[in-house]
Amino acid sequence: MEKRNELYAGKAKSVFTTDDPNLMVMVFRDDTSAFDGKKVEQLDRKGMVNNKFNAFIMQKLEAAGIPTHFEVLLSDTESLVKCLKMMPIECVVRNYAAGSLCRRLGVEEGITLNPPTFEMFLKNDALGDPMVNESHIATFGWADPANIEIAKQLTFKTNEVLKKLFDDAGLLLVDYKLEFGLYQGQVVLGDEFSPDGCRLWDKETRDKMDKDRFRQGLGGVIEAYEEVGRRLGIDFG
Ligand code: TMP
Ligand code: ASP
C-alpha cells in the first residue's frame, strides 16, 4: 500500500489517497478544535493517543458486529481505512445530560437519561452544526432515510458495547457522536471514536476525562485521554 495525495484536511485529521481506490490513510494531527473551529490548539501527543484510542475502539465495535471503516494501524498517527461516501450527519446518543442538551432544554448536568436520547446534527461549521431531524434530511436530500435509520440503530448498538466497556474501566459514557458513510452500498461507521467526540466521566468523582477539559480550559487534556486509555488497557508505547 502506497500513501499518495492529501484528499482532505479536517480540523484534527487529514486523509490521503492510496494506490487502492477503496482505501485511504487517516492521519491524526495534534490540532485540537472546539466550538466549530473557533478554538484551536496543538496538544502534544494527541494525534498518537487518538489514533491508537480509535483503533482500539473500532476493533471492539467490529468484533461486536458493527461494520467500521477501520482496517489497520499504520504508524503512531496513521490508520488505513476504507474509503466511505460520508453522510453529512452527526449521530449523538446521550446517557447523561451534558453540553448542548443542558443549554437547549434547561436540564441539570449529570441527570440520567432513561431511555438514552438520540439526536442528529448537520455537519456544517458555518451554521454551527444545527440539530436536524429525519424530515429535514429527507426533504433536503442529505442522506437516504433508510440509511439514516440503519445509522441510528448502529449508534444505539454502539452504546450497548461501549457503555459496558467504559463501565468496566470505572468510567461513565455520558454521550458520544458517530458519523457514518456508505461502502459498497452498506452503512459503515467512519470518522473516529476518541475522547474528542464523546464525554467520559470518572464513575466515582465524575471528573471530566474528555474534550470538555479543552473546551472549558480545565488543563490536563491529554493526561486525561491517556488515563482513560490506560484503564482500557491501550498501549500508547
Ligand atoms: P453537544 O453536547 O455539544 O451537542 O455534544 C454531544 C456529544 O457529541 C459530545 O460528546 C461531543 C460530540 N460532538 C462532537 O464530537 N462534535 C460535534 O461537532 C458535536 C456537535 C458534538
Ligand atoms: N468538534 C467540533 C469542533 O471542533 C465541536 C466541538 O467539539 O466542540 O469545533
Q: Is residue 51 part of a domain?
A: yes
* Residues 129 and 216 placed together within one structural domain of the fold: yes
Average pLDDT, the chain: 98
Residue 199 is part of which domain span? 85-220
Q: Which of 38, 57, 92 to mutate to test the pocket of ligand 1 (most atoms within 8 A of CB)?
A: 92
- The pLDDT confidence band at residue 116, using thresholds 50, 70 and 90, is very high
For residue range 123-151, list pLDDT tens digits in order.
999 999 999 999 999 999 999 999 999 99
pLDDT at 164: 98
Domain's final residue, options 28, 62, 82: 82
* Residues 104 and 191 placed together within one structural domain of the fold: yes
Q: Is residue 229 part of a domain?
A: no
Q: Which of 29, 35, 125 to mutate to test the pocket of ligand 2 (most atoms within 8 A of CB)?
A: 35
Q: Residues with Cβ within 6 A of ligand 2?
A: 11, 33-37, 211, 215
Q: Is residue 89 part of a domain?
A: yes
* Residues 122 and 211 placed together within one structural domain of the fold: yes
Q: What is the mean pLDDT of residues 41-54?
A: 98
Q: What is the mean pLDDT of residues 102-121?
A: 98
Nearest CA to ligand 2 atom 8: 34
Q: What is the mean pLDDT of residues 154-170?
A: 98
Instruction: Compute the distance between CA of residue 105 and CA of residue 100 in angstroms, rounded to an integer.
Output: 8
* Residues 101 and 215 placed together within one structural domain of the fold: yes
- Tell me which amino acid residue 145 is: P
> Which residue, 181, 182, 214, 180, is CA-closest to 199?
214
Contact 69, 181 (CB under 8 A): yes
* Residues 65 and 96 placed together within one structural domain of the fold: no
Q: Which of 175, 200, 201, 213 to mutate to test the pocket of ligand 1 (most atoms within 8 A of CB)?
A: 175
Nearest CA to ligand 2 atom 1: 34
pTM of the full structure: 0.98
Number of domain units in the chain: 2
179 ligand 1 Cβ < 6 A: no
Domain's final residue, options 31, 51, 82: 82
* Residues 90 and 179 placed together within one structural domain of the fold: yes
Please give the distance, rounded to the nearest whole angstrom, from the Cα atom of residue 31 to the centre of ligand 2.
Answer: 11
* Residues 8 and 41 placed together within one structural domain of the fold: yes
CATH code of the domain in which 202 resides: 3.30.470.20
Please give the distance, rounded to the nearest whole angstrom, from the Cα atom of residue 169 to the centre of ligand 2.
Answer: 25
Domain's final residue, options 57, 82, 107: 82
DSSP 97-139: --HHHHHHH-PPTT-EEEEEEEEEEE--GGGT--EE-HHHHHH
195 ligand 1 Cβ < 6 A: no
Q: Is residue 32 part of a domain?
A: yes
* Residues 127 and 113 placed together within one structural domain of the fold: yes
Q: Is residue 108 part of a domain?
A: yes
- The pLDDT confidence band at residue 234, using thresholds 50, 70 and 90, is very high
- pLDDT at residue 181 is higher than 90: yes
pLDDT at 1: 87
Q: What is the mean pLDDT of residues 109-126?
A: 98
Q: Is residue 228 part of a domain?
A: no
- The pLDDT confidence band at residue 10, using thresholds 50, 70 and 90, is very high
CATH code of the domain in which 27 resides: 3.30.200.20
Instruction: Compute the distance between CA of residue 204 and CA of residue 107 in angstroms, rounded to an integer.
Output: 22
* Residues 39 and 97 placed together within one structural domain of the fold: no
Shortest-distance atom of ligand 2 to CA 37: 9
DSSP 23-50: EEEEEE-SEEEETTTTEEEE-TTHHHHH
